[in-house]
Structure 1
Amino acid sequence: METNVNKDFGKRVAELRKKAGYSQEQFAFKCGVDRTYVGVVERGEKSPTLNTIDKIANALGISKSELFNF
């Protein structure tokens, strides 16, 4: 079975962001990225860089490996 890692990762980020109570705009500010970029990542349209993955994990207060628990 083929999977789409970008979509799975994006769904995971959206799930964790919402659980943390952040809007996309608030989360983008906390990560230091543009709000539209958060949407692009959450829809699985782009792969974030390793630096951005680190920023996402830090903004959520979780380990990078937890982002990939999908």
Structure 2
Amino acid sequence: MLDINESPKFVGSIIREKRKAKGWHQSDLAEFASLNRNYIGEIERGESNPSIFTLLKISKALGLNGAEELFGEFQEEMFPYIMLLDENEEVK
């Protein structure tokens, strides 16, 4: 089971992996997701807890079909984390 305290780093590593697989820089993802490049860096390093809204923007920018494709096989482990994000909705 995923430790909820490690979730931001885990989420960030998945996003970084998906971004790099497309051959994109953080600035590319930021542009396509309409987010700040520094914020993308914070998310990827696990320094920021993105809201579910932000995760959906990132998923869409990466050409993925929401959290299902973003988290793939880890979706069930990520469910508690996603629920916490939904309670603390924030948009940057």
TM over 0.5: yes
| Residues 38-49 of structure 1 mapped to structure 2, 5 A cutoff | 38-49=40-51
Q: Partner of 2:9 in structure 1?
A: 7
Which structure has the larger Rg? 2
**What is the aligned-residue identity percentage?**
39
Structure 1 position 68, deviation (Å): 2.0
Question: 1:5 corresponds to which letter in structure 2?
Answer: S
- Structure 1 runs (4+) deviating above 3 angstroms are none
Q: Is the 8 A contact 1:9 1:67 kept in 2?
A: no
1:31-55 CA deviation, whole Å, 9 max, x = no partner?
0000000000000111111111111
Aligned residue pairs total: 70
- Which protein is richer in helix relative to its size? 2
Q: Using CA pairs under 8 Å that are at least 6 residues apart, name the structure with larger relative contact order, 1 or 2.
A: 1
| TM-score, length-scaled by structure 2 | 0.69
Q: Structure 2: any 5+ residue segments left out of the alignment?
A: 75-92
Q: Structure 1: any 5+ residue segments left out of the alignment?
A: none
